Amino acid sequence: MKNKKNYSRREFISSSVKGVAVISASALIGNGAFGSFEKTTGIPKRVLGKTGLSVTILSFGGGSMFLKNPDGEWEPLLQKAIDSGINLFDTAPEYTVANYLKTGDVKKSLGSEERFGEVLSPYRKNIHIITKIDNRDAAGVKKMVETSLKNMKTDYLDALLIHAVSDKDTVADLEKGVYKEIADLKRQGITKFIGFSSMDSAERSRDLLLNLDFDIAMMAINPTKYRSYASIAIPAAKEKNVGVIAIKVLRDIVGKDAKTSELFDYSWSDAHVNSAMIGHTGIKTLEENIKIALKYGKKELASVDRADLENRLAGYAGPHALSWARPGYRDSGIFV
């Protein structure tokens, strides 16, 4: 057997990860149509595909919605998430905040990864952290991950994802480039698992799932059915036992046409969705979502009429309503 390549501490903070506990299927309740979850007194948990990780059905996104929380407000927001039992957190190096003080003068505040490091590091053993690689320059992957580890004050990642897969990506280019690099980091134990996120190409997501060895897929799944991830990509994830995290669950579609609880129910009632990754602005929003997740865990059957909700929100599918569907949209930081 070939010897594993070792990286110096200067290049990476040494990883101490040794395996992953696999959750027994016998610990789950529910039926396939409703979506199985672990019986718990807190927020329900599901097994994240073949990773074996037990994750809360409500997870915490560190993107633009989270970055809108100013200093003094994001700290208690993260603490509230921890105290509620949320155990899955997602971020990316591109999730940053730049403050325009005056023309030509820009001051950067703490980015999402650094915010995570400030609050989450004492709880590291009890939570799962995901970060992502945005660019497609394979040569820069290791350096970016080194910086991410430093920012979050950790010596390993639970998952490292290729960020925002689109039609511009090809299986062949990713396989010989960024995918090769993150797969190597997984072999080194620097990240436990690898995957990708996608919000505008279900077809490319399906291709990646069927042709490469991913553990996690983070995909845009909501009642607008924009890009049809549920019908195109999720079957491939199911075939490969890849964990599915729903993103873009609430954004731009909450209003008079749908209740927040309906949008969550739509996501969670899909048996192949393991968690909904939500960005929160304000403690009130987080508290409301926690209550919805707790209430969902007490249900025996899903209450949402999926077809009815899809019909009501079908008119939202497209760039006129969904920000991530607009030309030039980039899933990154904010300016304030």
Q: Averaged in consecutive runs of 10 residues, what is the pLDDT profile of the chain (336 residues)?
A: 40 39 32 54 94 98 95 96 98 86 63 97 97 95 97 98 97 98 98 97 98 98 96 97 96 86 94 96 96 89 87 95 90 80
Query: Taking the CA atoms of the chain, what radius of gyration do you get in angstroms?
Result: 19
pLDDT, position 17: 37
Exposed/middle/buried for residue 190 (C-beta within 10 Å: 0-12, 13-18, 19+): buried
pTM of the complete model beyond 0.85? yes
In the chain, the domains with their CATH numbers are 42-335 (3.20.20.100)
pLDDT, position 20: 35
pLDDT, position 98: 76
* 81 close to 116: Cβ distance less than 8 angstroms: no
CA distances from 289 to 10, 52, 248 (A): 41, 25, 14
pLDDT, position 73: 96
Listed residue (251, 219, 258) closest to 235, CA to CA = 219
Dihedral of the alpha carbons of 123, 135, 185, 13, in degrees to the nearest 10: -50
**Distance, CA of 268 to CA of 34 (rounded, Å):** 8
